[in-house]
Structure 1
Amino acid sequence: MTNSESIHKNAAGGIIMVTCLLSLGYAILRYHILGPVSWSEFPFFILNKGIALSAFILLTFNFALGPLKNLGVKVSEKWLNARQALGMTGFLLVLIHALISFMLFNPQIFGKFYEDNGHLTLFAGLSMLGGIISFVVLWVINLSFKTDLKEDKTFIKFITSRKFLLVAMLFAIAHIFFMGYKGWMEPSDWHGGLPPISLVAFAFCTVGYIINLIGRK
């Protein structure tokens, strides 16, 4: 088998499908079945949560599979070959999540993120800042491999460097943390005893960050 044939044999389709189904299923179970959220909220509000969780999981796979292999963990070649597709799909889902969130973000739906005077709280602002910066970083990474920028070896070396990727992941983790940490502190309010989606995403991304921190060469 040639290198070209090997690259095209990957598990991207299966990983993406299972990740999206499990993420969406978790959102439905927690908010609709075990929680009080009306099904009328599914097309935008709850679907957006499932999309966000899928995006962060896929992006974590993209960033962490290589370093995980460097740590001596056996990682299937099909999973390693899937990294680019996982990253591009994760970026697309982040874009969809950002657009839906922009349309939903108002005091009526996200009242906890607003002061009485209508301004964003400090932590809401930090969350938005982290989300915007991480989105721009992901956009640059995605764009660089599809334009003439890919010919600039110095630029490609910089955006794929260990430090750059770690900083990018840190902003994404900050976005998740400041967006949802208050709800993490009250397990008694968790619907059906299930952790908030933001906590699940935060835990997954943090594990991926640690793997990158110690495993990326």
Structure 2
Amino acid sequence: MENQTQTRNSAGRIILITCILSIAYAICRYHVLGPVPWKDFPFFILNKGIALSAFILLTFNFSFGPLNNLGVNVPEGFLAARKSIGMTGFLLVLIHALMSFLLFKPEIYGQFFQPDGTLTLFGGLSMLGGILALVVLWGYNLSFQTHLRDDERFIRFITSRKFFLSAMTFSLLHLFFMGFKGWMVPSGWHGGLPPISLVSFVFFLLAYVINLLGRRD
């Protein structure tokens, strides 16, 4: 009972702190130091904070185990909290995907559209990477479903090193094509703070390396 309480508390703290810091970063970058009016917070900016929270939580979920394999002393409460962290990250990804779908129009994301309203090459690649990443993450989330736990082949595939690296590759592609042009112009960063897409990319790139080195099939 004591171990279960510690696990539950670890997951709650990690999720709460990650969400607070991520949303605070979005507010600081776009509202406090940037030109975005506060009227855009409930949907446009909150969506960015939710996206950052989701990517960081998924990074934690993917990396705690491999880090432990590499000899880093990851607390037991963190290791046992991976399921809650992963499922929360996936739910936040779904919220981000739905909000982004409603926001994705030339008036808001003009850099991803041609004058005739069609997607640019980079816009299409970013959306493709995002869709594939969502599908792969959905498959990973299925591994937590009780009725599928007895399917050993499915669980072995979903939790394999190749599957994880595929999920991360699609996510990295989505983030890269979504924001790399803005990454190249630090002078345009609001208050000198890196874009959220870049912060998310760095987290996922570190997770990719950690999983490449520490995940066991």
Q: Does 1:180 align with 2:143?
A: no
Q: Which residue of 2 aligns with 1:123?
A: 122
Q: Output the CA distance in 2 between the equivalents of 1:17 and 1:114.
A: 36
- TM value normalised by structure 1: 0.96
Q: Output the CA distance in 2 between the equivalents of 1:8 and 1:143.
A: 25
Q: Does 1:6 align with 2:3?
A: yes
Q: Secondary structure at the match of 2:149?
A: helix
Q: Output the CA distance in 2 between the equivalents of 1:193 and 1:126.
A: 27
The alignment covers a number of residue pairs equal to 214
Q: Does 1:159 align with 2:162?
A: no
Give the 3 Å change call, closer, same or farther, for CA 168–78 of structure 1 in structure 2. same
Q: Does 1:18 align with 2:17?
A: yes
Q: Output the CA distance in 1 between the equivalents of 2:147 and 2:26.
A: 40
What is the CA deviation profile of residues 74-98 of structure 1, one whole-angstrom value per residue up to 9, with x for unaligned ones? 1100111110000000000000000
Q: Output the CA distance in 1 between the equivalents of 2:190 and 2:205.
A: 23
How far has the Cα of 1:140 moved from its partner? 1.5
Q: In 2, are the aligned partners of 1:9 and 1:81 still within 8 Å (CA)?
A: no
Q: Which residue of 2 aligns with 1:111?
A: 110
Q: Which range is displaced more, 137-146 or 127-136?
A: 137-146
How far has the Cα of 1:8 moved from its partner? 5.0
Q: Which residue of 1 aligns with 2:78?
A: 79
Q: Output the CA distance in 2 between the equivalents of 1:174 and 1:215.
A: 22
Q: Output the CA distance in 2 between the equivalents of 1:135 and 1:201.
A: 15
Structure 2 gaps, min length 5: none
What is the CA deviation profile of residues 90-139 of structure 1, one whole-angstrom value per residue up to 9, with x for unaligned ones? 00000000000000000000000001111101111111111111111111
Q: Which residue of 2 aligns with 1:201?
A: 200
2:98 partner amino acid: L
- TM value normalised by structure 2: 0.96
Q: Secondary structure at the match of 1:151?
A: coil
Q: Output the CA distance in 1 between the equivalents of 2:130 and 2:27.
A: 24
Moved over 4 A (4+): none
Q: Secondary structure at the match of 2:209?
A: helix
Q: In 2, are the aligned partners of 1:24 and 1:51 still within 8 Å (CA)?
A: yes
Q: Does 1:45 align with 2:49?
A: no
Percent identical among aligned pairs is 66
Q: Does 1:168 align with 2:167?
A: yes
